[in-house]
Structure 1
Amino acid sequence: MKRRFTLLVLVLSLVSLASAAPRIFLIGDSTMANKPADLPEWGWGMALGAFLVDPAMVQNHAQNGRSTKSFIDEGRWEKVRAELKSGDFVLIQFAHNDEKKDDPKRYADPATTYRDNLRRFISETRAQGATPLLATPVCRRKFNAAGKLTDTHGAYPDAVRAVAKETGVALLDLERATAAWLQATGDEPSRKFFMWIEPGAHPKIPDGRKDDTHFVEAGARQVASLAVADIRAQKLPLARWLK
């Protein structure tokens, strides 16, 4: 009887939390974005809801191929900003496309424009009474001949860290967390977390794929778990809404 009562209290507590839960707006690139259900590819934002008291808290606005610059220029940020309410959160993770110097529609210099765009997201989020969170970009799966993971993001992770420190915004250092995970897992074993699809293994990808940037479901869930672990470790306000 006592056990049933304890279980009932727990269930009612979770229901109460879910009913009052804030929204978590995700803005970023393809490594975070929602993907079509008929593909094996997952952005890690798709896996985040499983760690929350209410999966519907996640409002995933991340989009394939977007940088801080194109996300703003296409009006995607304005759409998110207009929806924000007091108590909401905005989780910001860009860099993969900001790095593309040969594409003026997306490139953002890590020393100037990229930082300015992050500052804009932060200040406009705060102006709406919401809480911004910064995340460094997740690592690509790129190993050298000696089996050591190599850097592909250059100055961008440090730019995010600098803006977080300057503005007092909480930082989820996913670049370091995913680097440690991939290095510990190793070159060949880590392929199972990415879009390494054998020819003929999936009807939508008949020729197969070797993609060291984008995740399958297992990889997305692992990255989401790393983000959640950091939220818990830092005892951020968002931790209240974790399971």
Structure 2
Amino acid sequence: MKLKVSFALCALLLLSAFIVERKDPITIFMIGDSTMANKSLKNGNIERGWGQMLPGYFTEEVVVDNHAMNGRSSLSFINEGRWDVVLSKIHKGDYVFIQFGHNDEKPRATLHTEPGSTFDDNLRRFVNETRAKGGNPVLFNSIVRRNFPPEGVTEIKGSYEKEGPALVDTHGEYLESPRRVAKEMNVPFIDLNKLTHDLVIGMGVENSRKLFMWIPAGQYEFCPKGKIDNTHLNIYGGRIVAGLAADALIEEVPALAKYVRRYDYVVAKDGSGDFFTVQEAVNAAVGGGKKTISILVRPGVYEEHVSMPKSSPRIELVKQTGAEIW
């Protein structure tokens, strides 16, 4: 009898330990503007916000819930009730990534805030109310606008007939408010503007167009006339910028570091990857010059027969829960 009781007690203790150690996924809530937001995939749209691509840089222990929205400033995000929705969902241990500025600069009364005044106040509100719910705020400043004006031109335009050699800032003091509030309130801060500025400079005037929505006429159904957009990112740009953010988190938010992962390619049905099919990722791996290529397959049913070219490198296929390849 004593043996049975002891065994039952040990089993209960082991079960209790398991229950204590089991944790729900950490949620990262994202609030911001169009440069961070999820985009429609309709008609082959290739525009992506960097927040849309961020899930491909984390393990399944982290869930990214992106509430960023096109055209919103810190003011309109609050006044439209969007912040209240996010606030109601935050649980202890969750994170809120905050990036505003692009639309706070605009003169429209429903959007405009002043750096050093109302913009800072809104950022403080996000921080204080996140902390009150047991969450962890992280402040970002705006990604760079790809602005290469011709020499001698001071007026900022969306595009120029001929671009100059120098990348010129368009955000001004709106870049400093998140940094200032982060220092004041002891909040992690990621200078995403500097990271993307350095990225664009490193790629050069012409190559950096590959990051943004430079669309030739007649190439895509979603934009048949083509366009030049130096603010918003495409699939490639979104993945690259999300990677910069993920790398910065390792240093600035050490508690998230163990969840960060880097894969050569991400396949996702929801548009958060480089490709929609596994075969596309395998094809891209060929001729890449690496001996081993890692491919993350995010949740979804992939009805395809994947063929491996004879000349392909060693491919490591990582399937997340819910990913099925038929």
Q: Establish whether TM, by shorter chain, passes 0.5.
A: yes
Report the counterpart of residue 32 of structure 1 in structure 2. Answer: 36
Gaps of 5+ in 2: 1-20, 151-163, 262-326
Amino acid at match of 1:162: R
Report the counterpart of residue 247 of structure 2 in structure 1. Answer: 229
Shift of 1:54: 1.8
Shift of 1:144: 3.2
More helix by share: 1
Report the counterpart of residue 67 of structure 1 in structure 2. Answer: 73
Distance 2:243 2:22 in 1: 20
Report the counterpart of residue 59 of structure 2 in structure 1. Answer: 53
Query: Among residues 114, 118, 136, which one is paired with 1:113 in the alignment?
Result: 118
Report the counterpart of residue 10 of structure 1 in structure 2. Answer: none
Query: Does residue 1:160 correspond to 2:178, yes or no?
Result: yes
Amino acid at match of 2:72: R
Instruction: Note the 1:160-179 alignment, pairs <5 A.
Output: 160-179=178-197
Query: Among residues 181, 205, 208, which one is paired with 1:190 in the alignment?
Result: 208
Contact preservation (8 Å) 1:18, 1:53: no
Report the counterpart of residue 142 of structure 1 in structure 2. Answer: 147
Amino acid at match of 2:33: D
Contact preservation (8 Å) 2:48, 2:232: yes
Amino acid at match of 2:95: F
SS of equivalent to 2:258: helix
Shift of 1:20: 3.5
SS of equivalent to 1:158: helix
Query: Does residue 1:242 correspond to 2:260, yes or no?
Result: yes
Shift of 1:19: 5.9
SS of equivalent to 1:64: coil
1:18 to 1:37, Cα distance in 2 relative to 1, 3 A = farther
- RMSD between superposed Cα atoms in Å: 1.5
Contact preservation (8 Å) 1:67, 1:95: yes
Query: Does residue 1:210 correspond to 2:215, yes or no?
Result: no
Amino acid at match of 1:172: I
1:24 to 1:18, Cα distance in 2 relative to 1, 3 A = farther
Query: Does residue 1:22 correspond to 2:6, yes or no?
Result: no
Shift of 1:236: 2.4
Distance 2:221 2:202 in 1: 32
Percentage of identical aligned residues: 44
Contact preservation (8 Å) 1:49, 1:55: no
Amino acid at match of 2:255: P
Query: Among residues 123, 129, 133, which one is paired with 1:124 in the alignment?
Result: 129
Deviations 1:95-128 (A, max 9, x none): 0000002x00000111200000000000000000
Shift of 1:235: 4.9
Shift of 1:162: 0.5
1:55 to 1:203, Cα distance in 2 relative to 1, 3 A = farther
Report the counterpart of residue 3 of structure 1 in structure 2. Answer: none
1:18 to 1:225, Cα distance in 2 relative to 1, 3 A = farther
Structure 1 moving runs of 4+ over 3 Å: 17-20
Distance 1:187 1:215 in 2: 16
Amino acid at match of 1:166: E
SS of equivalent to 2:96: strand
Distance 1:80 1:69 in 2: 15
Shift of 1:187: 1.1
Query: Does residue 1:83 correspond to 2:89, yes or no?
Result: yes
Contact preservation (8 Å) 2:188, 2:253: no
SS of equivalent to 1:132: strand
Query: Does residue 1:96 correspond to 2:114, yes or no?
Result: no
Distance 2:139 2:37 in 1: 16
Gaps of 5+ in 1: 1-16
**Larger RCO (alpha carbons 8 Å, 6+ apart):** 1
Deviates more, 1:170-179 or 1:46-55: 46-55
Distance 2:61 2:226 in 1: 32
Higher gyration radius (CA): 2
Shift of 1:204: 1.4
